[in-house]
Amino acid sequence: MRRALALACVLYSSALLAQTDWLLSSKSGNVESGKPFEVVVVAPPTHSLPAELDARMKVDVAEITLTLKAAGPAENGRRLYSAQMPLSASGPVTLQLSDFPSNVLVVVTARRGDAVQTLTGLGAGGREPPLSENDPMYFVIGTRGGTSARFQLSFKYRLFDVDVGYGQEQPWLSGLYFGYTQNSLWDLEGESKAFRDTSYQPSLFWKWERTADGWLDGARVGLEHESNGGQGELSRSINTAFVRPEWRWKLGEVGSFAFTPKIYAYLDKEENTDIDDYRGYVDWRARYDSPGGTWVATTVVRVGTAGGKGSVLLDLSRRVRDVKFGPVSTYLHLQYFAGYGESILDYNVKGKSQLRIGFAIVP
């Protein structure tokens, strides 16, 4: 009786082991259509890893059968396999074994030669893409004091990825970014329609995002240069070191609110030694997003160290349609500026307050 019971327990345990799921994993969640990709397969303890495995791949509503071929020997119950990603594959693609119970692996596939998708598409686990928006991007026109336009372009580029190369060896490097913002004032009433001033702002910073409970949601720390490329008396430039803490609150059905002040110290301001009188040392930034991001309102306030000096910039955006180009959409954009220094050339000049209207792709 005891022997029969022991034998039954062994058979039951073997049955449980046999039902254990197989595991699929990928070193990188990004794949290019038409090119080889690799997955690691981990087998239950009672199974061996064959030279080939059949897998089911789902692309939208279509299902494709792939053969995974071993790309190395089996070691400690795991083995590396490779296959060719079909040319028709694009976007999120799921993969699981055909003959064994396994998890569902999701990879993001870019069409061959589609550099935009590779750069701007979300990575595995919804990670931010390598190339993404930084500050708002817009084009607006106003008529007070003469017709003029103001537009801004801004992006940031992640220098290392956490799942490959140096970023894999030193994960902290995956938070290192190059940023660039360009802001121009365009005189549309002048005879030659010349640009009044253009500000160029390259930066290098480290970006951190909270992954657990804490009092801070994120932060940026870095160096920034700003200049207008002018010569002689028209030249303006500053170098700063900055830190930008980030706090975000979800307001339930009301939307969300973010407070991201940018605190900086001047490292070089020889061409405009009194710029802190008009800008101060903090850009007080706040943003409100309505539910679904239909409405976005932002404000940037500067308070100079000299009494009565400073500026306020208010932006209000209304999404008018979605555009499938990375994370951006199209917005109707309203902008109001008042105070000193609408451009770095006129950092110490208080012009007429300006109300402009136009479009934005990143509010």
Q: Average pLDDT for residues 117-139, to the nearest whole number?
A: 75
From CA 71, how far away is CA 241, in angstroms rounded?
A: 48
pTM of the model: 0.69
> Residue 67 is which amino acid?
T
DSSP β-ladder status, 30-32 and 105-110: parallel
* DSSP states along 203-229: EEEEEEE--SS-S--EEEEEEEEEE--
Q: Which of 110, 142, 177 is the last residue before a domain boundary?
A: 110
Beta bridge partners of 222: 205, 242
Whether residue 248 is contained in a domain is answered as yes
Asked whether the predicted pLDDT for residue 304 surpasses 90, the reply is yes
Q: Average pLDDT for residues 16-44, to the nearest whole number?
A: 80
Total tally of structural domains belonging to the chain: 2
Whether residue 62 is contained in a domain is answered as yes
Task: Give the residue carrying structure tokens 């995974």.
Answer: 68
Beta bridge partners of 284: 301
Asked whether the predicted pLDDT for residue 326 surpasses 80, the reply is no
Asked whether the predicted pLDDT for residue 186 surpasses 50, the reply is yes
How far the first Cα of the chain sits from its last, in Å, is 76
Contact by Cβ (8 Å): 279, 347: yes
Asked whether the predicted pLDDT for residue 185 surpasses 70, the reply is yes
Give the structural domain span for 61: 20-110
The domain spanning residue 151 has which CATH number? 2.40.230.10
What pLDDT does 34 receive? 79
Contact by Cβ (8 Å): 199, 183: yes
- Domain check: are 91 and 137 in the same one? no
3-state secondary structure at position 13: helix
pLDDT in tens, 59-108: 776 788 888 999 999 999 999 999 988 876 778 889 999 889 999 999 88
pLDDT in tens, 253-301: 899 999 999 999 999 999 999 999 999 999 999 999 998 788 999 999 9
Beta bridge partners of 241: 223, 265
From CA 146, how far away is CA 354, in angstroms rounded?
A: 10
Asked whether the predicted pLDDT for residue 204 surpasses 90, the reply is yes
What pLDDT does 65 receive? 83
